[in-house]
Homo-oligomer: A and B are copies of this chain.
Amino acid sequence: MRASRAAAGGLRLELVSVLTVNRLSVYLRSLRALEARGVRSVSSHQLAEEFNLSASQIRKDLAQFGEFGVRGVGYGVAELAAKISHLLGLDLSRRVVIVGMGNLGTALARYPSFNAESFLVVAGVDSDPGKTGRKVGRVPVHSRRDLARVIAESGATMAILAVPADAAPAAHAELAAAGIRAVLNFAPVSLPSTRTCRVKNLDLRVHLEELAFFLEDGDGS
């Protein structure tokens, strides 16, 4: 059985803030760390203290999805972790294709976090014939031209875009047309989300530049 995540409180997933969702991931990470140490119960204040978070924000974030805590006590670590994991849809397994097997695409194909139970990189494609026909870790690399077929045959619903900027828009369009529902885009172009295909743009250069902005000039040459 796959209980709908929204069903519980009549909540519309689409109107939860991205900021809240990102913090849920962080809460889950933190809870897993406590679990590994054998901690059974934790208060919002303890969580905040140890992991550089805000106690009231933790409570507000969680309250949107139900009442998971016990007043006067705190939250059950394992129960809350399970609940957040379910909210994030991590108790399902999503098949992922990688478009562009350059430096970054290759690293992500081998990246352990992208190959646990919740996500499974099933294939990569690249336009360079020298890269196709091989395997990167467990991931077979196909021709860029076979993208639609690879998606159909693998049943992938998510994609990682790791191609140069000029190749990204066409790849994005093909992914959406082939039924991909979510794209993590590392190319340095802002691709728009549509109703059927959500895009998360993640240009790594932007974040290096953010750091550079706040750095004093004396730190460069």
Residues on A lying within 8 angstroms of B by beta carbon are 2, 4-5, 13-14, 16, 18, 21-22, 24-26, 29, 33, 51-53, 87-90, 92-96, 103-104, 106-108, 110-111, 113-114, 118-119, 155, 157-158, 165, 181-184, 188-190, 192, 198, 200, 202-217, 219-221
Contacts and interface: CB of A to CB of B under 8 A. Distances in A.
Contacts of A119: 208, 212
A190 B203 CA distance: 20
Contacts of A22: 206-207, 210
B114 A25 contact: no
A94 B208 CA distance: 10
Contacts of A111: 103-104, 204
Each complex incorporates copies of this chain amounting to 2
Contacts of A198: 211, 214-215
Nearest to A20: B213
Smallest CB-CB A-B distances: 9 pairs: A92-B220, A107-B107, A182-B211, A157-B219, A103-B107, A25-B206, A113-B205, A89-B212, A103-B110
A155 B16 CA distance: 44
Nearest to A94: B220
Given A25-B210, A26-B203, A89-B217, 16 more contacts: A4-B217, A24-B209, A24-B213, A25-B206, A25-B209, A87-B213, A88-B212, A89-B213, A92-B212, A103-B106, A113-B205, A118-B209, A118-B212, A119-B212, A182-B211, A200-B211
